Structure 1
Amino acid sequence: MKLTTLGYALIGLVQAEPCSGYALRRVFETTPMGTYSSSPGSIYPALARLVAAGFLEKRAPAGGGKKLFHVTTRGRDAMNAWLRTPVTEEEVTRSVDLVLLRFAFLENVDEPGVTQSFLASFESALSNRIEQIEAYLESPAGRALGRHGRLAVENGLQGLMTQRQWAATSKKEFRS
């Protein structure tokens, strides 16, 4: 089974703390993770697929009570591999939110250097994308943009520059 973004989000939340399907739905309803659907029609089938594929398991707490989802070894391994994957230019171009979701889940990785490597790859991918956009703006096609188009591209460029500065600053924080 190829994991989806929702699958990784669910595994990451369960890895941080075993919880029920309802509790997971509440996270999507009440936090910035609201970009994912909190409907039972998406969450519960996704959880069922993750259990069937062996990424999660459902079991009752030691003292009894409502069953909670727990991450399996397979789920933990898949999550750790995803978190350690270097950030690509495609991710920077198409899904920076997904990059930041990965970064947030790095909180649960207890290995020196993993966060630094992630941030370095993020900064590098951002730098490459910034160079591409700057070159485009200097090209005949970029110079032919109308005022609105050019300003829209410059807005995106400034956003990428801000993210690159954040990555550089965050790397310094994790050196200490």
Structure 2
Amino acid sequence: MYNLLRQNIERKIPLSDADWKAIVDKIKFVKLKKNTFLQVQDSNNAHEVFILKGAFKTYILNENGTESVLFFSFEDEWICDIECFYHQKPTKYNIQAIEDSEIVLIDKTNKMSLFEQVPKLIQLYIALLEKNNNHIEERLLDTLNKTSKQRYLDFTKKYSHKTNKINNKNLSSYLGVSHEFLSKIKKTV
């Protein structure tokens, strides 16, 4: 059932059967329906999550009530509001399923216990932090240096097999353009 999770971890670090058992004993399997919230802005409910199946959007609700989509997450990816998870601060983001999804999650107490039981998982954590930091830097640089059309083309190239899971409202929010402008971009490509 958790084969995808084990493969994801073993791309970074080798696991013995005892290591794997320790992990499985600390995680929880959850199914979420489309539009269900995994995390709500300003709450203290944070988990580290691995997506077995499905897709999520991470976004903020601005003061005027509009959504600004920061990230999309898909199968074989991790989601975590690091500040909320590790520092017990209220979350700044909403994380919502954009399709029926299956995930495994772990809370901070179990994660810290796993670090003690399987210390090499700290290597995985460092690798995930580095990847997350690179992703944020790329997103920022793209927003500052590329046109909306180029960001759209890059997104559809990178996530060609996932683009159909994202509606135009969410994609236009992610790109920082109006729904109408996104339609114009799509017509020119």
TM-score (norm 1): 0.29
Which structure carries more helix by proportion?
A: 1
| Structure with the higher fraction of residues in strand conformation | 2
Q: Which has the larger radius of gyration?
A: 1
